[in-house]
Amino acid sequence: MTQIETMQAAGAAMAERARKVILRANLAMIAMIVIHDTDHVRQASNWCYTIGLQLWLVNIAVYIPSLIALALLWRGRGAGVATMINGLLVGAAFSEVHLWRPSIPVWGIWNDNFFILGADRISWTILALTVLVGALVTAAGAYALGLQWAARRSI
């Protein structure tokens, strides 16, 4: 194998690794949001609160950044940046809603923050993990961008 062929093989391997990192990061974000949503169902049950259809429909919005990143991954361009934005948006938005108050009060009982609601340790832990996963997804997107950059330079 010539040096050029070796570099091309290394570039292809880096590009494939970047693709896998982006895929796993966005799937992890979706899984974390599902866990977070499941905790809200638990909270609602404990508080005798019924989550209305409108709230379920609005909640779909939190999945959109991950789905956009995955669509861009399938398309082949822009998924790294979308993954970084996804992590930042989710981490910041979930922090704002649960630690302060939502900018747009469409979250039913969760228009009040966790302090006012008296959230339990389970909910606080899941919130902290959601924000942490958001930060890690952002880092994964940056790492994937670096891999993609290196892959392009080696071809």
Residue-range definition of the domain harbouring residue 40 = 16-154
Token readout for 8 is: 């091309």
- Give pLDDT, residue 102: 85
Residue 92 lies in a domain: yes
Q: Would you say 98 and 110 are in contact if contact means Cβ atoms under 8 Å apart? A: yes
- Give pLDDT, residue 152: 87
What global pTM score does this model have?
0.92
Residue 20 lies in a domain: yes
Give the chain's domain count: 1
pLDDT, tens digit only, all 155 positions of the chain: 788 888 888 888 898 999 999 999 999 999 999 999 999 999 999 999 999 999 999 999 999 999 999 999 999 899 999 999 999 999 999 999 999 988 888 889 999 999 999 999 999 999 999 999 999 999 999 999 999 999 988 76
- Give pLDDT, residue 105: 86
Place of tokens 């940056």: 142
Residue 144 lies in a domain: yes
- Give pLDDT, residue 118: 95
Residue 1 lies in a domain: no
Residue 2 lies in a domain: no
CA proximity to 73, closest of 137, 3, 24: 24
Cα separation, 29 vs 91, whole angstroms: 10
Cα separation, 13 vs 7, whole angstroms: 10
Within its chain, how far is the Cα of 3 from the centroid?
39
Residue 67 lies in a domain: yes
Residue 3 lies in a domain: no
- Give pLDDT, residue 155: 64
- Give pLDDT, residue 9: 82
